[in-house]
Amino acid sequence: MKTIEAFFEEIGRFFEMLWGVLVWTPRRPWDWRQLLYQMVRVGVNSLPVILLTAMFTGMVMALQTTATLMRFGAERYVGSLVSLSLVRELAAVLGGLIIAGRSGSAMGAELGSMRVTEQIDALEVMATNPIHYLVVPRVWATVVMLPLLVVVSDAIGIWGGYLVAVLLMGTNPVAYLETTFQYTEVSDVTSGLIKAAFFGLFLAVIGCQQGFYTSGGAQGVGRSTTRAVVIASIVILISDFFLTKILF
């Protein structure tokens, strides 16, 4: 009974936070500096780990699919398989999970420690809405940056797959690129980007929400940080199914 109650409370808080973000976004003053700062933190600083993940994902995809497709003599399709899987699915989901672990956790920890040290109260006292000041820039920074990271991931992953398929497995380089561009539609790319934007929204709102409602000192901050990552990861995986269903 307690768990069910807590579950619905959590969902309620999520939508409350989301609503708060939507309501406060158009209000002035717009804090461009803070938005830019958060975009650098979420986007630019995550670039190395995102690139590494994408590259190795593309490489291992090529390794697996080339071996399989060779059995049917269909190895010229490796390129399209790697790129479709990456563009439609893997880049967005893996990117979302990594940013949840990197930035979502940071949001939970930062806002959590601001809560327990009364900094959030102090903001309110100084006529500053903490959702406007803290949450809005973090959420939009993530919504904008995650799709951009996914674009880069797509390219790097395809390139990694090419390296393995051509150099390691000895397939035809022209066929790899040909099938890649022949079978990957623009709509495949955009569907991945739309998903990424949603994942960014979910993970940032969840991270901020966990931090915002922290109680219980240092231990509470730790709990919020863990929950920010765990809940965001689960939500990304579950919503991925439904978003894919909706976006075809």
Partner 1 sequence: MGAAESARPGEVKIRLRDLHKAFGPNAVLSGVDLDMAAGTSTVIIGGSGTGKSVLLKHVIGLLRPDRGSVEVDGVTVEELAGEALTRFRRKFGMAFQEGALFDSMTVAENVAFPLTRIGSRSRAEIAARVRECLGLVKLEGVEGKMPSELSGGMRRRVGFARAIAHEPEILLFDEPTTGLDPVTKETIDELIIDLKNSLASTLVTISHDMGSVFRIADRVAMLYGGKIIAHETPADLRASRDPRVFEFLRRDLEMWGAARSG
Residues within the interface to partner 1 (CB under 8 A): 114, 117-119, 121-129
* For partner 1, the closer CB: 123 or 194: 123
Shortest distance, position 126 Cβ to partner 1, whole Å: 5
Nearer to partner 1, 32 or 72 (CB): 32
**How far are the Cα atoms of 19, 126, 134, 194 from residue 129, in angstroms, in the given order?**
14, 9, 8, 29
Q: How far is the CB of 145 from partner 1 (least distance, A)?
A: 19
How far apart (Å, rounded) are the C-alpha atoms in residues 214 and 225? 10
Minimal distance, residue 131 CB to partner 1, in Å: 11
CB of 232 to partner 1, least distance (A): 23
Closest CB to partner 1 among 1 and 125? 125
Considering the complex, state which of residue 21 and residue 86 has its C-beta at the smaller distance from partner 1. Answer: 21
24 and 132 Cβ atoms separated by less than 8 Å: yes
79 Cβ neighbours under 8 A, 6+ residues apart: 158, 161, 162, 165, 175, 176, 177, 178, 179, 180
